[in-house]
Amino acid sequence: MKRYFYLCLFLCLVLAALPAWGQVKVTQRTDRILIDIDGKPFSEFFIGAGVMKPYLHPLRSASGKIVTRRYPMEAVEGESKDHPHHRGLWFTHGDVNGYDFWGNEPSQKGATKNGKGKVVTKRILDVKSGKKSGSVKALFEWQTMDGKPLLTETRGMIFYSDPKLRTMDFDILLTAVEKVKFGDTKEGVFAIRLATPLEEQKKMGGTGKMVNAEGKEGEKQVWGKASPWVDYYGTLEGETLGIAILDHPTSPRHPTYWHSRAYGLFASNIWGLHDFVDKTKDGSQTLEAGQSLRFRIRVVIHPGDTAAAGIAGLYKKFATMK
């Protein structure tokens, strides 16, 4: 009997030491939410009172490599240190009724006529862990610096378990509290700042390349163009890795335009036509009080280049989701 007890205890200890394959664990803390996938840390969602916008940092590949820049949250030797508002993965815009929700760090001077705005966490609506996926649902307010709300944002995020991929789905509903105008500026909207080795520019040792759904390659062919998806891949710590951003056909003004730069900014933006197309265009958009916009976006962190990862096929599957 004693022998049986010790055998069971040994087996339990062995199983506890094994990776938790097929699990997504989501843990809520006071100022952040932790996301672990298959027994390994994936990211943290920062939502504390001290942040100017919620953001995910860092993002990791299935192999555990950090694919986003760590600055300004961490100091890492050899990283670029421009644009302190580029924090992991975030969603904001540079002109909402003249307020800048994009370049809005306290150390930055406001570029828009009314100064900065901030995205404030109102409450976490739901947090779930699961065998195949985990999720977070939260309510935010886009406010002026004196606390006046312009927009509410209800954001759902789903994180999936997979041995090779790290896939995230975003379902973002923006609702106008009062009449709001999203101004025409390239400074937005759904964005990721890539790790320095994945940048396309070479001066900091970048190895990256961006490719869109039409097969165009490089910043000159991708920046400011409309496309349903863009993939940005390179070599990181000896492994070819990429990040793809997929724009669902039901998202507003699909296919989105791309504010994707050789220095590592990777962003989709539907409101920047004045910059992206030509000076005669006006990409601004107005919502009356109570009106909403719904963005559906998938991010896939993958091994290999665009073709090897089958991004076109992954997009087709995403596009058919209701």
245/269 Cα distance (integer angstroms): 12
Tokens of 161: 């378990």
Record the pTM.
0.92
For residue 59, the model assigns a pLDDT of 98
Provide the pLDDT for residue 107: 84
How far apart are alpha carbons 314 and 301 in whole angstroms?
12
Alpha-carbon distance of 267 to 230, in angstroms, equals 9
**Residue 112: per-residue pLDDT:** 65
Residues 6+ apart with CB under 8 A from 316: none
> In three state form, how does the secondary structure of the chain look?
CHHHHHHHHHHHHHHHHCCCCCCEEEEECCCEEEEEECCEEEEEEECCCCCCCCEEECCECCCCCECECCCCCCCCCCCCCCCCCCCCEEEEECCECCEECCCCCCCCCCCCCCCEEEEEEEEEEEEECECCEEEEEEEEEEEECCCCEEEEEEEEEEEECCCCCEEEEEEEEEEECCCEEECCCCCEEEEEEECHHHCCCCCCCCCCEEEECCCCECHHHHCCCECCEEEEEEEECCEEEEEEEEECCCCCCCCCEECCCCCCEEEEECCCHHHHCCCCCCCCEEECCCCEEEEEEEEEEEECCHHHHCHHHHHHHHHCCC
Instruction: Tell me which fold the domain 24-319 belongs to.
Output: Beta-galactosidase; Chain A, domain 5 (2.70.98)
**Per-residue pLDDT tens digits of the chain, which is 322 residues long:** 455 444 444 444 434 444 445 799 999 999 999 999 999 999 999 999 999 999 999 999 999 999 999 999 998 888 888 999 999 999 999 999 999 999 999 888 755 678 999 999 999 999 999 999 999 999 999 999 999 999 999 999 999 999 999 999 999 999 999 999 999 999 999 999 999 999 999 988 999 999 999 999 999 999 999 999 999 999 999 999 999 999 999 999 999 999 999 999 999 999 999 999 999 999 999 999 999 999 999 999 999 999 999 999 999 999 999 8
